[in-house]
Amino acid sequence: MTPEDIRRAVPREAFVPDTLWIRQDDGWAVPITRQEHPEEWTRLVCDDEQPVITQVDDGVADKGIWPTSSGSSPEIMADMIDALDVRPGLRVLEIGTGTGYNAAVLATVVGAGNVTTVEIAPEIAAHARAALGRAGYPVNLVIADGVGGYAPGAPYDRIIVTAAAHRIPAAWIRQTRPGGVIVVPWAPTFHPDWPLCRLTVRPDGTAAGRFLGPASFMPLRGQRLPQSVIHDTERRWRQAGEPACTRYGITVTDREQRIWLDVPDNVVA
């Protein structure tokens, strides 16, 4: 799937809210509205390579520093959907509804009745629910903390996460069928590129996979990291010779998770 495929399948404009946030030279992010800045709003929405920021600092201020919700770019959506290997009829759980756009695109592939999407923020979920309804994609939208997945809809063939993690919750593995796939962006705990992880769940309840390439996302609310960890990761990565993120893999059991370089026996985190 390409960004062009995604745009042809579902118009992004139907899901992006009227208020977006842009970064100023002084570092603060401030809002712009579709009504007051239609050309800038349209330019941001039509950029296939960049996300749009839809909330900062958990929505508690008129300006902010940290993006806390966004609409993914069609480019990264295409990469993640390709990694997910979705096909008609597969049951998909999405962690992090955001604008609802990704859920709508997934629905065009697997069918709206096969998509469950979980959003932690009620106000964000309300916007997505309305947009999905207007566009005709009646997916199952649940307001909850996505770390717990959504057991009533399990088992799933695929789980896609639109926020960065650095620990794989056991619920995600339990709720995925053996042979099913989990795609999740990874926080910079071992590599500064925030790499995308693709895990396959095994019949014994473990999971393993590799990292595919850069995929920077905002972190899950319960897995945010201090800046010191991010700086330390880059330092350690440089000391290791700056290995490509695609050389790393991960194994997850019910007791631990191990990140390794090149081969599973070479554990680095």
Which residues are catalytically annotated?
Answer: 72
Q: How many CB atoms lie within 10 A of CB 93?
A: 28
Pairing state between β 156-161 and 92-95: parallel
How far is the C-alpha of 262 from the C-alpha of 60, rounded, in Å? 43
Q: How many CB atoms lie within 10 A of CB 179?
A: 10
- In this structure, the chain runs to a length of 269
Kindly report the backbone phi and psi dihedral angles of residue 250, in degrees, each rounded to the nearest multiple of 5, phi listed first: -145, 145
Using DSSP bridges, classify how beta strands 67-71 and 52-56 pair: parallel, antiparallel or unpaired.
Answer: antiparallel
Q: Is 124 exposed, middle or buried (0-12, 13-18, 19+ CB in 10 A)?
A: buried
The residue whose two tokens read 């096909």 is 87
Alpha helices in the chain (DSSP H): 3-9, 38-45, 74-84, 101-110, 122-135, 170-174, 227-239
For 122-176, the DSSP string reads HHHHHHHHHHHHHHT---EEEES-GGG--GGG--EEEEEESSBBSS--HHHHHTE
